Amino acid sequence: MNNTQQGQATRLMAISKLIDDRPDEAIFQIDRRLFSDPDVFEAELRYIFEATWNFIGLESQISKPNDFVTTNIGRHPILLMRGTDGKIGAFLNTCRHRGTIVCPFKQGRQKFHVCRYHGWAYDSNGRNVSITEEASGQYPRSFSNENHDLIPVARLGSYRGFIFASLSPDVPPIDDFLGDARTFLDLIVDQSDTGEVEFVPGASTYTFDGNWKLQFENGLDYYHFSTTHSSYVDILKKRNVSAGPEAGFTSEPEDEQEGQGSFSFDYGHAVNWSIKRTQLYGRPLGVDPARLEAVRQRVGNARAKWMLRQRNLTIFPNLQVIDILSAQVRTWRPVAPDKTEMVSHCLAPVGESTAARTLRIRNYEDFFNASGLASSDDNVMYEFCQTGYEATTAGPTQGYLRGAAGVSRGNSVHTRELGINPREWSFGAPSFGGEANFYPGYREWRRLMERAAQEAKV
Amino acid sequence: MSSNASVLVDARRVAEAILFREARLLDHGNWSEWVAMYREDAVYWVPAWLDEYKTTQDPTTQVSLLYHASRRGLEERIARIESRKSITALPLPRTVHQISNLEARETGPCEISCQSVFAVHVYDPRVSKEHARYGSYQHTLTLDGGEWKIARKIITLANDNVATVLDFYSI
């Protein structure tokens, strides 16, 4: 091992230790530099985002041959497309010739993508079909022996219409990666009679001047809701006084114990959920009792009951799927230690009624994004946190111990009815809002960073 | 009489007065007078972008950035800000609305349709940062009990990659 390797390994190991996780001593602390240090940020892009599975889109976004969307994995621009043969492919969106972005558009349908710089062309399966004036190019023989196709991602996988890709081949199969978190994708997909989900047209992109992990944490944080969103809660309570059946309110079974809980899974995933007798908002599935009954017949009582519960799912490192008054798919792209770009879509089961769809859209606009009445408050909070984290001499925050004394393993009434085996679970009063469900993400973060440190030595 | 009256309407002058007043009330944070300029059944719509060129066309089947089918939605947004519970308004950004390129015409008895472009300069004293929001307005104005009111406003936001917060006062 040379000095540079040793230095890199030591540096990455030191970064991994910024998370102090000692469950036996009930210690979980995160150094504030995790949110602001440029070296940490650089390491996260390379060894987390660019080294594991990322959600990159829905199959229904590219439902027809030659459909494409563009996105990112970490810093890498990605071109996701369906080939002429119907096969889905994900490629680095960079021309083999001079590195130019091959497709500069958000989405569309094209059989060929021609680089605008020198005209090299690729088909929708990523194959190079033309090198401009190759014959007169006086290329060495080695050139024609080289492959000129777009570079595919190292791994591509899909679960029930959700497409994931990894730039590193060193990842578990997608089903193993998702594990029992898949059940919480099922709870959304199975709301559709045909088992399909789609994005409602009209995506939203916004930024906040804060670290991406503030969004990661917030999506698993029920503790903040009544404080941060109190102005929104006021509006909801006022509206609910006169809400009719069109608002889609549903109820829990009489014998159900109220509470708030979470499940933690391997590879960084976690889900938050609540069982509440008095709902703050209705659900699209609740608008149409006949359809709800049909879903119940299809998936059974237990799953139908869970479909009507608020569930905030985090698939580490870049995806949150929120199913409450509407459903949201949001992904983040870390831009800088203190800047994050969010892309947000309204997620919907294919085939729901017009009334359910319109309620879903209105509720989504109401709650989410920079223009929504709840998420906009979150965005400002992230910026307040980011500024506060500059107080590095204040030591670690006290934001990771709520629920630490109640973390459980094994089965519970809730795991049994869902038929899942989470790594850990928590359950408490409706006002619980535990923070131990942030652990899986941070443990995966540390695992990937330690792995990178080990590999740097070789 | 009514047809004569409509001939006498100076659509441009009416539109100018309404649009400039609306801009001033927004910049001064005079929300109650601002929202009173809207009819109770007024539609307030900020479409989202579908791709580089097209905005959403149907709020019932597509997602908008903001969509309120009546004045109540705007009143809720005002109440949220005035409650001093929303951190987005603590403090409120300072804004300057600039409106130009106004074209107005009478599109029916007691109805004026107009389009204009806007730039809203937003300064956020919380973080000492500034943004510009720009795009175009389409207003439909109707004469309501002797007073011109906003019946419909469509805001096409050209720069829709939004920093942190987007609300009625910043577009």
pLDDT digits (tens, 9 = 90+) for A165-204: 999 999 999 999 999 999 999 999 999 999 999 999 999 9
Q: What is the pLDDT of residue B8?
A: 62
A377 to chain B, any CB pair closer than 8 A? The answer is yes
How do residues A116-149 score in pLDDT, each as one tens digit? 999 999 999 999 999 999 999 999 999 999 999 9
Query: What tokens does A2 get?
Result: 């040379």
Q: Return the ∠ at Cα A23 (arms to A17 and A24), rounded to 5°.
A: 120
Residue pLDDT, tens place only, B84-110: 999 999 999 999 999 999 999 999 999
Which candidate from A204, A357, A373 shows the least CB-CB separation from B48?
A204
Taking 50 as the threshold, does the pLDDT of residue B3 lie above it?
A: no
For residue A235, list chain B residues with Cβ-Cβ distance below 8 A. Answer: 76, 79-80
Q: Residues A305-333: pLDDT tens digits?
A: 999 999 999 999 999 999 999 999 999 99
pLDDT of residue A313: 98
Tens of pLDDT, residue by residue over A57-75, are 999 999 999 999 999 999 9
Residue type at B170 in one-letter notation: S
- The interface pTM score, or ipTM, of the predicted complex is 0.95
CATH topology of domain A54-157: Rieske Iron-sulfur Protein (2.102.10)
Residue whose C-alpha is closest to residue A329's, from A161, A443, A123: A161
Band (pLDDT 50/70/90 cuts) for residue B4 is very low
**Domains in chain A: boundaries:** 54-157, 173-454
Of A234, A357, A377, the CB nearest to B88: A377
Strand, helix or coil at A391?
Answer: coil
pLDDT at A1: 62
pTM: 0.96
Mean pLDDT for the stretch of residues A294-307: 97
Q: Looking at residue B5, what is its pLDDT?
A: 47
Average pLDDT over chain B reads 94
Report phi then psi at A183, rounded to 5.
-55, -35
Contact A208 B163 (CB under 8 A): yes
**Which residues, in sequence order, are CB contacts of A226 under 8 Å at separation 6+?**
A233, A431
A·B CB contacts under 8 A: 124
Q: Between chains, do A234 and B64 touch, taking CB under 8 Å as contact? A: no
Q: In which band, very low, low, confident or very high, does the pLDDT at B127 lie, cut at 50, 70 and 90?
A: confident
User: What is A26-90 written as a DSSP string?
Assistant: TEEEE-GGGGT-HHHHHHHHHHTGGGS-EEEEEGGGG-STTEEEEEEETTEEEEEEE-TTS-EEE
Strand locations in A105-249, DSSP E?
107-109, 112-114, 121-123, 128-130, 155-159, 162-166, 197-208
Residue of B46, B51, B164 with shortest CB distance to A106: B51
- Residues of B whose CB is below 8 A from A232: 80, 86
- Supply the Cα-derived Rg of chain B in whole angstroms: 16
User: What number of other Cβ atoms are within 10 A of residue A202's Cβ?
Assistant: 25
- A3-16 helix and A439-457 helix, angle to the nearest 10 degrees: 170
Q: Quick one: CATH architecture of A173-454?
A: Alpha-Beta Complex (3.90)
Question: Does a cis peptide bond (omega within 30 degrees of 0) precede residue A317?
Answer: yes
Contact yes or no for A151/A140 (Cβ under 8 A): no
One fold for both A54-157 and A173-454? no
What is d(CA A137, CA A440) in angstroms, rounded to the nearest whole number? 54
Looking up tokens 């390379």 gives A46
Angle at the Cα of B96 (from B95 to B101), degrees rounded to 5?
Answer: 140
Taking CA atoms, A115 is separated from A70, A97, A118, A132, in Å, by 15, 9, 6, 10
Domains of chain B: 2-170 (3.10.450.50)
Which sign does the torsion angle of CA A210, A214, A216, A220 carry?
negative
Q: What is the pLDDT of residues A2-25, one digit of tens each?
A: 788 889 999 999 999 999 999 999
Best of B62, B87, B166 to disrupt the A interface by mutation (most A CBs within 10 Å)? B87
Closest alpha carbon within chain A to B127? A383
The answer to whether A234 contacts B79, with C-beta atoms less than 8 Å apart, is yes
Residues 6+ apart with CB under 8 A from B26: B34, B95, B97, B168, B169
pLDDT of residue A56: 98
Question: Which tokens sit at B155?
Answer: 């805001």
Distance of alpha carbon B31 from alpha carbon A397, whole angstroms:
39
B24 close to A (CB below 8 A):
no
Residues 6+ apart with CB under 8 A from A365: A371, A372, B63, B64, B65, B66, B67
Residue type at A302 in one-letter notation: A
The answer to whether the beta carbons of residues A381 and A388 sit under 8 Å apart is no
